[in-house]
Amino acid sequence: MKTSLKLNKRQSNSDGLHPLYVRIRGKSSKGKDSEVSIYSGIDLSPKQFSGGGISNKTPNYTDKNRRLNSILDDVERIISQTIEDGLEPNPQYVKKQF
Distance CA 32, CA 35 (A): 10
pLDDT number for residue 62:
95
Q: Give the CA distances from residue 78 to residues 10, 14, 34, 62, in Å, rounded to whole numbers and listed in that order.
A: 29, 34, 17, 24
pLDDT number for residue 27:
82
Closest C-alpha among 35, 43, 38 to residue 7? 43
pLDDT number for residue 30:
76
Query: pLDDT of 3-38, one tens digit each?
Result: 999 999 999 999 999 999 999 999 877 778 889 999
pTM for the predicted model, two decimal places: 0.86
Distance CA 54, CA 56 (A): 6
Helix, strand or coil, per DSSP, at residue 11: coil
Query: pLDDT of 54-88, one tens digit each?
Result: 999 999 999 999 999 999 999 999 999 999 999 88
Q: Give the CA distances from residue 55 to residues 34, 68, 86, 91, in Å, rounded to whole numbers and listed in that order.
A: 28, 13, 38, 27
